[in-house]
Every structure is written in structure tokens, then in C-alpha cells.
């Protein structure tokens, strides 16, 4: 599903280049649950951003479902953001001014889904996450774990094929983290959603079925 | 989607109250000011536009080229009108307009009506619809008058005015007239104003004027056939002038006026659409052509300042919302969707401001009209074009003020935004540039205000050469010379009165609002001399405390004084003789006059003009229009009341009140006063709105730098050090603005001061003071916030994440 071929990412320093990622080859198949690990500065987040089309590689080829991403136009990329890829952030990134319900609804608005279907899909997701009672609360009225649940709910409401999670439990304590990770596992196994997560935690990494270790921009074999 | 945007916008506004308040307050004030100013400008530009023939009506003005100086006049000889109509092809109609305020009597009731004496074609030329009567026949007979609805209602109450007889007081005699028609009340944008129309032939000396080519007394208006151009009219007049003014042109050329073969005497046509703003026209409003532009420029500047606040605050605020922006992008929002969202928020805010500004305008309108002497009514908004214009302007403002930040936001780099790297840094070029622009405008306006104020102060306190504080002028209205004599003898009994005289022209501008001059040319020792001429009465020099340099004042003891003149220094210099006293010359082929005295130059006209040569003569009592009374009393109010009472007793028809000459000279500079008030208001608004913006920006920067401040404090920085650190960035911007603004203001004001022959020199310290003022205001604004930030407990800012 995702194929990276000799992906590099660098920025200029003086006359030379400083590589964040160098010649990364990576294939992720549909239905996998991959954990990317590595120390700070090893390029985990950059890799995830490249996978999520938020950043472009300096060199190399990226094929998303067999299609070359660098050949895609802006519209096609936006389509992928709207439909195929869901993001979960460490800092949740909920919109403070919107209620739980409205936050979850936002991606559907961008997908131009009709109002009735929007309602039923948001209701489904709320139901599934046991958050129906909280739907009219604002993010700052929720605990961190609950906020991240909303974040995940928002990521899956548009029914993406891939979820990219950047340290989804980084701001949570271990009990909450466990809930979230189990949710991811469930999504991966039941809903067949491909999940790529960046994490520091060995425990969290074990929820996945493959671990990729990054060191200084290279994947350790 | 749109509903979702508006929801977010609304919740955001409620959350960030400082931001919303500053934006709405600034924007609505600016919109209100701009609305008033631009509506005023629109009104000035559309004066007299209701006349159907306005494209074909012209006023004829004459210009004489007296060897370098061009003398312009709107007074035309009466016989020229017949010549123009008969001899120039394409002229449809002509009319003179002689306007006065005339006493009118109906039964035993007296009225003063603003009268225009016009030719029979007046009602066909100009569009003043009649509500009663027929415009073809309304002024057919010499003894017919046309009233307006208002004046008819005042005189006749419920009665039908048509066919009724009223009496007009023409040069002291009551004469009967028949009301033949009633005109609709004049539109408020009409330059021509009248309450009563009658035929021009009723002008008292019409019989002599009719064939007198030498005197020019009344403004002349011409209507051309459609398709005939102004240029052809001006060209066709030339042969007429050569034919009828042959002697005059030759005299002028002999006197050295104009180069060989060059025309020395010609006539120009003013289009009706220029009447309001062209100073040569008889219906000149007293407003400079530049004045409406000035209002537009001010409106734009004020809106720009408020718009800059808007832009700066929106950008600053949207950095605080960078998470949301990044998130939306990752959810698949296109740039233009984000653009639309942020623009919608600005639009919402602008709409609030707009509604508020309309409310403010309704409240402020009467005050505005009073302060600036305008006459704007809300009727102007019934005009669909004005409404559309206002709406279009509003949309443009929201597009710029809301669109620019939205565009900037939408282009933010998503990854950096998500990582939270994009804070509003210590400075941003755009923001700083905009703040500089704001303060440039504010400083320019402040320094202009101060220079205009200095100049006004200068001309109002400049020694005029005559006694302005103790002399009262009484407009004679239509009194006769006998009234003047009666007044003299009655005032002799009033103890406060020191002396009494009379003159043709007022000094300054009296409550009657009229002014004028009489320019005469004559030949002296083969030199063409042009001078102003003033008819005075005995004791003129004594009453006004003019200083005699040599010779004597007019005196009743000398029988020969009827041919005597007193001249001023400028005239003496022009005559260029060793001892001017005793010099003889004659004006206009009249009898020879001899100089009996020379007075020191005094400012008998405004200080805009230099002092011109002046000849005072005494033998024309009918030309006297004002009585001057010198009083010596600690209680000037009671003195003026006493004198007014005496005058009312002698001339019950007197209409205009007496006034002190110093009041009159102040009144002469009304336009400048208005100018300064407008600048002052603009400056105050600019400063307030700029400071509001600066304050809000300061609030945001301080919030952003809370952590830095905390760290610095922990490391041992003093409160004053931190205040300075935080304020310094802003003060630097203001200083740059002062440096840019000073030369601009200097240039602009230098041009303005050139309009005055007598003016102050712009001092460098004006700019230093204004600069200091601006820096102080900015510092106070910023330090309100920076002191608070510096005093805050560092533990708090550092523990918060």
C-alpha cells in the first residue's frame, strides 16, 4: 500500500546538507500495524509527515497505493487527506471553539457529505467510543485521554484506509494510553485499517505487528 | 460549512474580547468618520446637478491682464448680455442675477426675503419647478414676482398667493408687485438660492446701466444650444470685446499691459458644474476645489489605519490558532476554503462595525453639521447610487482588511504550524511596516494641525493696522444716506461712543456675510495704475485709528474735500513722486482729484492677500454700506446693544446685526478654521485608532513572550529593564514613522502656507514636539501592558505549559 524508495529529506547548512532522512526504503502493506521507534531527532516525525503528504521528500519516490505521490496535483492530495488518510496527533489538535460533535463532524464537512449521512456517521462513532453524553462539551471540558479519543474518532469518521499517529499517547498516563492503544489494535484488526504510529514506548510498540527502528535518518535492519 | 465557519467565528469573538473590542471599536469609528466625510465630498461634488440644462449653462467671467497680474472679475457690463445674445450664434438664453436681501411688505407685516433679480428667461434656463403658475409667463411683466413655497407660506399663510399684491422696498421706496407663480422649495444642493424672484429691470439704476459699457456690476449666465461648446463661446466673445471695449483695451495696452498682440482683456465661461468649487463663480461656496478631495483622502487614511489594526490583529490572532489551521489542512481543507473561513470571520466583525457605525453616524450627524458647517441630511441615502457606493466601499474594505490576513494564514506551512513552531515572533516585517504607516499618518496629521493652528493664531493676532477691538460695524442693509446722518446725530448723545464714520466696505466679514472690492484703473504720467478704491465718510481715519504718515484726514472745514483723496503707502509708492500730498490725478475720465494725505498701509483685506494700493474718496454717500462706531467702555456688550437699539429705531427694516471688527476678522478665516478642525479631528481619530491597535498588538506580544520574561526575571532582570526591552521594539517603529512623516508634513504645509501672503515659517521644533508627543503616547500605550507583564510573577508564566 505504501512504498518508499530511497527517500531522503535534507535541509541546507552552509554549503552542505544536513540529512534528516537518508535513503529510506520502506514498504507497508495493507492491514499492517507499524510502530516507528527511535530516539529524538532520528527523523520519526519527518517520516510520518512524508507518509501523510504533509511534507515532501527531497529525494526519492513515494508510491501511495501504487501511485507516485510527487506526480499528484494539489487536488488529488487533498482528496487523499479527505478520504484515505487520518491523522492522530500527540497534542490532539482539537478545535477549541467546536464541541465534541462538531469536531468529529469537521472532516465530513470537507468531504461534502450530506447532512443526514453526517449525522448518522458521527452518531455511530460517538456510540462506538461511548461518548454520546459528551457530544456537546468543548475540548477543554474533557480529560486528556478523552480528548485523544475525540481525536481518534475524528480520524476514523471519514473512514480512512490509513491512520498516521504521531505519539498518540505521549501526553497521557499509562492507563489512558492502554485504552488508546487497545482501540488502535481493535481498529486494525476489526476494521482492517492500516496504522502507522510513532512512539517512544516499548510497551506501545508491542501492540503493532512490526517495529521499525530509526537511527540518524536510517532504518536499522 | 458556512454555518460551521460562522459558529467558530462567533465563539472566537466571544473568547477574545480585547481583540474583538479593539477591532469593532476602531473599525466602526473609522467607518463612521469615513461615511460622513465621503458623503460630504459627494455632496460638494454634486451641487447644482439637478438642473436639466446644467451641461449648457455657463457663467461669464472676465480677466484682465495688467502686465503680469491677472485680475479676475465676475461682474459684467449690462449691455454685453444683449450683444452676446444677438451676435453670438448658439446662445439660447442669457440672464443676469442680482441678489440682495430685500424688505417686503404685505399689509402691515414686514419680511426680509432673499431676492434674485433675473431676466425673463431665468425659469426656462434653470430647473426650479413651479408648483403654481406657468414658467413661460411667470416673469413676463416687470411688476411680477415669483415666491418659493416657504416664503409664500410665511407671507400668506393659508391664502392663495397667486395674483396678490406685495410691496418691495427698492432703494428706500415701496413699490407694488404681483405674485405670478410659486416655485417649489429649492433642493438643498442648490448653489443658487432665493426666496423671491423679480425682473432684473427693477434694479434701481437699470436705466443708466443699460447702455453703460464702462461699469461692470452683475454676474451674467448664458445657456448655449445643445452641441455648442464652451470653447466656441469663449472664441466668439473675443470680437465682441474688441468691438465694444476698444477704448478700454487700447488704454490698457498703452499702460503697458500685456505683451504686443497679446489679448489684455478676455472672457471665460465657467461650467455650471464648477460653480460650487470655483472661486471665480458667483455661487462659490468658499470651499477650495481641494476640499472634497481632502475629505476623501482623510476618509481613506482613517479607514486605512483601522484596516491596518484589523490586519495586524487578525494575523497575530491567527497564529494563536495555528493548530486549528494545520489540523484543517491535514483534514483536507483547500487553501481557498481556509481563506473563505478566515475572511468570513473578518466579514462578520466588519458587519458588526458597520451596523454600529451607522448608529454612530445618526447620533453624530447634527454635531458634525454644526462643527464643520456642513448641511448633510439623511435624504442623501435615498439616492441609490450613494447606497450602492457605500456598500461597495464597505465590501472593498472587508476584502482588504479581512482578505489579506486570511490569505497569509491560508499559506502557512502546515508542518511548522502543526509542530507549533510558528509563533508570532518578536517582529514581523508586514506588521511593523503597517504600524509605521499608521504612525506616519498620525504624525502627519498632528503636525499639520499644529502648523495650521499656529498660522490661524498668527493671522488672528497679527497687527492689522487699525483698531479692531473697539470699533463696531453696523451693516446699513438698504438704508439711505439720511439714515446715516440721523445715526450720527443720535450716537453723539451716547456717552460710550467716541466717533462715528461710514464706509463702502466692511472690514473683515460682518454678519451679513458679504464682501467685495472696487478696482479702478487710470492713467498717470503715461503709466497705467490699478488701485482699489474705497468710499468713506468723514472721520474714517480717526475712528479706525489709521496712522497718517503725511497730510491730513478729510475734513468738513475744507469745501474742496469733495475732490480730495487719501491714499495708502502702496499707492504713494506707485505714484512715485517726492511728496505725494498735493499730487493730482483723475480716474475714469472724472474730474481731477488731489491727494490730501497718506495713511500707513493697513490690512483692509484678508491676510491671504498682500496689501494693495488704495484710494479713499468721500463724495459718494449712496455708496456707503456700513457705519463704523468707535466705543470706549469696559462693557462692550452693553455698548453694542445700545448702538443696535438706536439703529433699529432709525431703520426698522435693518436685518443684519452689528458686530465688533475683531469678530469680523475672525469670521474671514472660517474656511481655515474649518480646515483646522477637520485636521484636528482626523489627527485625534488617527492617534486613538492607532493606539488601540498598538495596545492590542502589545497585549499579544506580551502573552507570547511571557515565558521569556519569566526566564529573564529569574535570571535577575529588573522591572524597568524588562519594560524597556518590551517597549523598545514599538518605540523604534514610532521613531521611524516620525522621521518619514516630518518631511511629508513639511512639504504639505509649505504648499498650504503659500496661499497666504503673510504666514509663519515652519519651525523645526514643531516636528520635534510632535515626534515626542507620538513617542510618549505610544510608550504610555505599550507600557500599560509591558509593566503588567514585567511585574507578573515568573513562577506563573514558567509553570504554565
Could you read off the pLDDT of B468-486 as tens digits, one per residue? 888 999 888 777 778 888 8
> In whole numbers, what is the pLDDT of chain B averaged over residues?
84
The answer to whether the CB atoms of B323 and A91 lie below 8 A apart is yes
Q: How far is B18 from chain A (nearest CA, A)?
A: 17
Q: Is the ipTM of this complex over 0.90?
A: no
Q: What is the pLDDT along chain A (221 residues), one digit of tens a residue?
A: 889 999 998 888 888 888 888 888 999 999 999 999 988 888 888 898 888 888 888 889 999 888 888 888 878 888 888 888 888 888 778 888 889 998 898 888 888 889 999 999 999 999 988 889 999 999 889 988 889 889 989 888 888 899 999 888 888 888 888 888 998 999 899 889 999 999 888 888 889 889 999 988 888 87
The answer to whether the CB atoms of A49 and B334 lie below 8 A apart is no
A contact residues 27-86, partner B, Cβ 8 Å cutoff: 45, 49, 52, 54-55, 74, 78-83
Cβ atoms of B534 and B552 closer than 8 Å: no
Question: Strand, coil or helix: what is B520?
Answer: strand
Which domains, and CATH codes, for chain A? 2-219 (3.40.50.300)
CA angle B154, B157, B160 (to 5 degrees): 115
Reported as a pLDDT band with limits 50, 70 and 90, residue B355 is very high
Nearest CA in chain A to B10: A97
pTM score above 0.95: no
Q: Where is B135: in which H helix or E strand?
A: none
Nearest CA in chain B to A108: B331
Nearest CA in chain B to A164: B330
Q: How far is A213 from chain B (nearest CA, A)?
A: 22
Give B508's DSSP letter: S
The answer to whether the CB atoms of A109 and B4 lie below 8 A apart is yes
Give chain B positions within 8 Å (CB) of A170: none
pLDDT higher than 50, residue B426: no
Q: Is A139 on the interface with B (CB under 8 A)?
A: no
pLDDT digits (tens, 9 = 90+) for B196-249: 999 999 888 888 888 888 778 889 999 999 888 888 888 888 888 888 888 777
Cβ atoms of B668 and B456 closer than 8 Å: no
Give chain B positions within 8 Å (CB) of A110: 328, 331-333, 337
Give chain A positions within 8 Å (CB) of B412: none
The answer to whether the CB atoms of A91 and B326 lie below 8 A apart is no
Q: What is the pLDDT of residue B801?
A: 43
Using alpha carbons, list the distances in angstroms from residue B358 to B35, B477, B598.
9, 44, 61
The answer to whether the CB atoms of A109 and B328 lie below 8 A apart is no
Nearest partner of B167 among B176, B158, B159, judged by Cα:
B176
Residue B100 makes CB contacts below 8 A (sequence gap 6+) with: B115, B117, B478
Nearest partner of A82 among A91, A90, A74, A70, judged by Cα:
A74
User: In chain B, which residues touch A (CB < 8 A)?
Assistant: 1, 4, 7-8, 11-12, 15, 323-324, 326-334, 337, 414-415, 418-420
The answer to whether the CB atoms of A107 and B332 lie below 8 A apart is yes
Supply the DSSP string of B151-216, one letter for each residue: HHHHHHTTS--TT-EEEEEETTEEEEEEEEEEEPPPPTT-SS--SEEEEGGGSTTHHHHTT-SS--
A contact residues 162-201, partner B, Cβ 8 Å cutoff: none
Q: Where is B320: in which H helix or E strand?
A: helix B290-320
The answer to whether the CB atoms of A102 and B4 lie below 8 A apart is yes
Please give the distance of CA B562 from its chain centroid, rounded to a whole number. Answer: 42
Cβ atoms of B52 and B125 closer than 8 Å: no
Candidates B12, B15, B414; nearest CB to A54: B414
Neighbours of B516 (CB within 10 A): 9
Candidates A49, A93, A97; nearest CB to B327: A93
**Cβ pairs A/B, distance under 8 A:** 68
Give chain A positions within 8 Å (CB) of B323: 91, 93
The answer to whether the CB atoms of A54 and B418 lie below 8 A apart is yes
Q: What is the pLDDT of residue B427?
A: 52
The answer to whether the CB atoms of A98 and B7 lie below 8 A apart is yes
Q: What is the pLDDT of residue B754?
A: 86
Query: d(Cα B462, Cα B459) in Å, to the nearest integer?
Result: 5
pLDDT higher than 70, residue B732: yes
Candidates B327, B332, B415; nearest CB to A95: B327
Query: d(Cα B730, Cα B723) in Å, to the nearest integer?
Result: 11
Give A30's DSSP letter: T
pLDDT digits (tens, 9 = 90+) for B129-166: 999 888 888 888 888 999 999 999 988 888 888 888 99
First to last CA, chain A: 21
Nearest partner of B1 among B351, B408, B344, B411, judged by Cα:
B344
**Residue B487 grid cell:** 445715526
Q: Is A87 on the interface with B (CB under 8 A)?
A: yes
Strand order in the sheet with B626-631: B497-503, B626-631, B471-475, B659-660
Supply the DSSP string of A33-45, one letter for each residue: EEEEE--TTSSHH
Question: Given the DSSP bridges, would you call strands B57-66 and B69-73 parallel, antiparallel or unpaired?
Answer: antiparallel
- B6, B325, B327, best to mutate vs chain A, most A CBs in 10 Å: B327
pLDDT higher than 50, residue B624: yes
Q: How far is A69 from chain B (nearest CA, A)?
A: 16
Q: How far is A18 from chain B (nearest CA, A)?
A: 18
Q: How far is A191 from chain B (nearest CA, A)?
A: 20
Q: What is the pLDDT of residue B146?
A: 92
Q: What is the pLDDT of residue B258?
A: 53
Nearest CA in chain A to B15: A97
The answer to whether the CB atoms of B324 and A95 lie below 8 A apart is yes
- A82, A83, A90, A96, best to mutate vs chain B, most B CBs in 10 Å: A96
Q: Is A107 on the interface with B (CB under 8 A)?
A: yes
Q: How far is A31 from chain B (nearest CA, A)?
A: 22
pLDDT digits (tens, 9 = 90+) for B505-542: 888 887 777 777 787 777 787 777 888 889 898 889 88
The answer to whether the CB atoms of B8 and A95 lie below 8 A apart is yes
**Residue B522 forms beta bridges with which residues?**
B529
pLDDT higher than 90, residue B492: no
Amino acid at each position: 500500500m505504501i512504498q518508499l524508495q530511497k527517500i531522503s529529506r535534507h535541509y541546507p547548512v552552509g554549503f552542505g546538507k544536513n540529512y534528516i532522512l537518508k535513503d529510506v526504503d520502506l514498504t507497508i502493506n495493507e492491514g499492517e500495524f507499524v510502530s516507528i521507534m527511535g530516539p529524538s531527532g532520528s527523523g520519526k516525525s519527518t517520516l510520518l509527515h512524508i507518509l501523510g503528504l504533509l511534507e515532501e521528500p527531497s529525494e526519492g519516490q513515494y508510491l501511495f497505493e501504487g501511485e507516485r505521490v510527487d506526480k499528484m496535483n494539489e487536488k488529488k492530495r487533498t482528496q487523499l487527506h479527505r478520504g484515505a488518510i487520518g491523522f492522530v496527533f500527540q497534542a490532539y489538535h482539537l478545535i477549541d471553539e467546536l464541541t465534541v460533535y462538531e469536531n468529529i463532524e469537521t472532516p465530513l464537512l470537507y468531504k461534502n457529505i450530506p447532512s443526514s449521512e453526517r449525522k448518522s456517521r458521527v452518531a455511530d462513532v460517538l456510540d462506538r467510543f461511548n461518548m454520546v453524553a459528551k457530544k456537546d462539551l468543548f475540548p477543554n471540558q474533557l480529560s486528556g485521554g478523552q480528548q485523544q479519543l475525540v481525536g481518534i474518532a475524528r480520524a476514523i469518521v471519514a473512514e480512512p484506509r490509513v491512520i498516521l499517529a504521531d505519539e498518540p499517547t505521549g501526553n497521557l498516563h499509562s492507563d489512558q494510553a492502554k485504552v488508546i492503544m487497545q482501540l488502535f489494535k481493535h481498529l486494525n484488526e476489526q476494521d482492517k485499517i492500516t496504522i502507522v504510529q510513532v512512539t517512544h514506548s516499548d510497551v506501545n510498540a508491542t501492540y503493532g505487528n512490526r517495529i521499525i527502528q530509526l537511527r540518524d535518518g536510517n532504518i536499522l535492519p | 460549512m458556512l454555518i460551521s465557519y460562522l459558529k467558530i467565528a462567533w465563539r472566537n469573538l466571544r473568547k477574545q474580547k480585547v481583540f474583538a473590542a479593539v477591532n469593532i471599536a476602531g473599525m466602526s469609528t473609522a467607518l463612521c468618520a469615513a461615511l460622513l466625510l465621503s458623503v460630504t465630498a459627494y455632496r460638494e461634488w454634486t451641487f447644482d446637478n439637478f438642473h436639466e440644462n446644467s451641461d449648457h449653462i455657463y457663467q461669464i467671467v472676465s480677466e484682465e491682464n495688467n502686465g503680469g497680474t491677472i485680475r479676475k472679475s465676475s461682474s459684467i457690463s449690462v449691455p454685453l448680455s444683449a450683444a452676446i445674445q444677438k451676435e453670438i450664434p448658439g446662445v439660447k438664453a442669457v440672464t443676469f442675477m442680482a441678489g440682495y436681501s430685500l424688505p417686503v411688505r404685505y399689509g402691515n407685516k414686514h419680511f426680509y426675503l432673499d431676492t434674485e433679480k433675473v431676466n425673463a428667461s431665468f425659469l426656462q434656463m434653470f430647473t426650479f419647478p413651479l408648483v403654481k403658475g406657468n414658467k413661460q409667463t411667470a416673469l413676463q411683466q416687470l411688476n411680477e414676482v415669483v415666491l418659493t413655497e416657504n416664503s409664500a407660506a410665511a407671507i400668506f399663510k393659508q391664502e392663495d398667493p397667486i395674483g396678490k399684491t406685495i410691496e418691495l422696498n427698492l432703494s428706500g421706496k415701496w413699490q407694488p408687485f404681483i405674485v405670478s407663480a410659486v416655485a417649489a422649495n429649492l433642493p438643498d444642493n442648490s448653489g443658487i438660492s432665493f426666496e423671491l424672484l423679480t425682473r432684473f429691470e427693477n434694479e434701481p439704476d437699470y436705466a443708466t446701466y443699460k447702455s453703460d459699457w464702462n461699469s461692470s456690476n452683475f454676474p451674467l449666465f448664458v445657456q448655449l444650444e445643445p452641441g455648442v461648446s464652451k470653447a466656441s463661446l469663449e472664441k466668439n466673445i473675443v470680437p465682441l470685446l474688441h468691438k465694444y471695449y476698444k477704448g478700454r483695451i487700447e488704454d490698457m495696452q498703452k499702460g503697458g499691459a500685456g505683451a504686443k498682440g497679446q489679448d489684455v482683456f478676455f472672457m471665460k465661461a465657467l461650467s455650471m458644474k464648477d460653480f460650487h468649487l470655483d472661486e471665480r463663480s458667483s455661487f462659490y461656496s468658499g470651499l477650495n476645489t481641494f476640499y472634497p478631495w481632502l475629505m476623501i483622502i482623510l476618509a481613506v487614511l482613517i479607514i486605512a489605519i483601522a484596516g491596518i489594526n484589523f490586519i495586524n490583529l487578525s494575523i497575530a490572532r491567527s497564529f494563536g490558532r495555528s493548530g486549528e489551521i494545520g489540523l484543517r489542512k491535514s483534514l483536507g481543507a483547500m487553501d481557498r476554503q481556509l481563506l473563505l473561513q478566515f475572511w468570513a470571520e473578518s466579514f462578520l466583525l466588519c458587519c458588526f462595525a458597520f451596523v454600529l457605525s451607522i448608529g454612530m453616524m445618526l447620533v453624530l450627524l447634527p454635531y458634525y453639521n454644526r462643527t464643520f458647517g456642513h448641511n448633510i441630511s439623511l435624504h442623501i441615502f435615498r439616492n441609490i447610487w450613494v447606497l450602492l457606493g457605500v456598500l461597495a466601499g464597505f465590501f472593498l474594505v472587508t476584502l482588504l482588511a479581512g482578505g489579506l490576513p486570511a490569505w497569509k494564514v491560508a499559506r502557512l506551512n502546515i508542518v511548522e504550524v502543526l509542530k507549533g513552531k510558528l509563533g508570532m515572533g518578536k517582529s514581523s516585517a508586514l506588521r511593523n511596516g503597517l504600524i509605521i504607516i499608521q504612525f506616519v499618518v498620525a504624525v502627519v496629521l498632528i503636525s499639520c494641525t499644529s502648523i495650521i493652528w499656529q498660522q490661524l493664531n498668527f493671522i488672528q493676532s497679527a497687527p492689522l493696522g487699525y483698531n479692531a477691538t473697539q470699533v463696531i460695524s453696523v451693516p446699513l442693509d438698504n438704508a439711505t444716506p439720511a439714515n446715516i446722518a440721523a445715526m450720527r446725530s443720535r450716537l453723539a448723545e451716547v456717552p460710550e461712543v467716541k466717533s462715528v464714520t461710514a464706509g463702502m466696505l466692511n472690514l473683515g466679514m460682518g454678519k451679513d456675510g458679504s464682501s467685495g472690492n472696487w478696482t479702478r484703473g487710470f492713467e498717470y504720467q503715461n503709466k497705467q495704475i490699478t488701485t482699489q478704491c474705497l468710499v468713506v465718510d468723514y472721520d474714517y481715519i480717526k475712528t479706525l485709528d489709521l496712522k497718517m504718515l503725511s497730510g491730513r484726514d478729510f475734513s468738513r472745514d475744507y469745501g474742496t474735500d469733495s475732490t480730495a483723496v487719501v491714499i495708502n503707502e502702496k499707492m504713494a509708492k506707485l505714484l512715485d513722486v517726492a511728496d505725494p500730498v498735493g499730487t493730482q490725478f483723475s480716474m475714469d475720465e472724472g474730474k481731477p482729484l488731489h491727494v490730501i494725505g497718506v495713511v500707513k498701509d493697513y490690512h483692509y483685506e484678508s491676510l491671504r492677500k498682500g496689501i494693495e494700493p488704495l484710494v479713499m474718496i468721500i463724495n459718494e454717500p449712496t455708496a456707503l454700506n456700513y457705519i463704523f462706531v468707535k466705543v470706549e467702555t469696559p462693557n462692550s456688550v452693553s455698548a453694542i446693544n445700545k448702538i443696535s437699539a438706536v439703529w433699529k429705531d432709525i431703520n426698522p427694516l435693518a436685518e443684519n446685526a452689528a458686530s465688533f471688527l475683531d469678530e469680523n476678522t475672525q469670521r474671514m478665516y472660517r474656511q481655515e478654521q474649518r480646515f483646522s478642525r477637520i485636521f484636528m479631528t482626523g489627527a485625534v481619530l488617527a492617534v486613538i485608532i492607532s493606539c488601540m491597535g498598538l495596545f492590542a498588538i502589545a497585549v499579544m506580544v506580551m502573552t507570547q513572550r511571557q515565558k521569556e520574561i519569566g526566564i529573564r526575571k529569574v535570571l535577575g532582570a529588573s522591572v524597568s529593564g524588562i519594560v524597556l526591552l518590551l517597549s523598545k521594539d514599538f518605540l523604534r517603529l514610532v521613531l521611524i514613522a516620525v522621521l518619514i512623516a516630518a518631511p511629508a508634513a513639511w512639504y504639505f504645509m509649505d504648499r498650504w502656507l503659500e496661499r497666504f501672503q503673510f504666514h509663519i515659517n515652519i519651525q523645526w521644533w514643531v516636528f520635534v514636539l510632535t515626534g515626542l508627543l507620538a513617542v510618549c503616547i505610544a510608550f504610555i500605550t505599550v507600557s500599560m501592558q509591558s509593566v503588567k507583564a514585567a511585574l507578573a510573577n515568573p513562577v506563573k508564566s514558567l509553570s504554565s505549559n
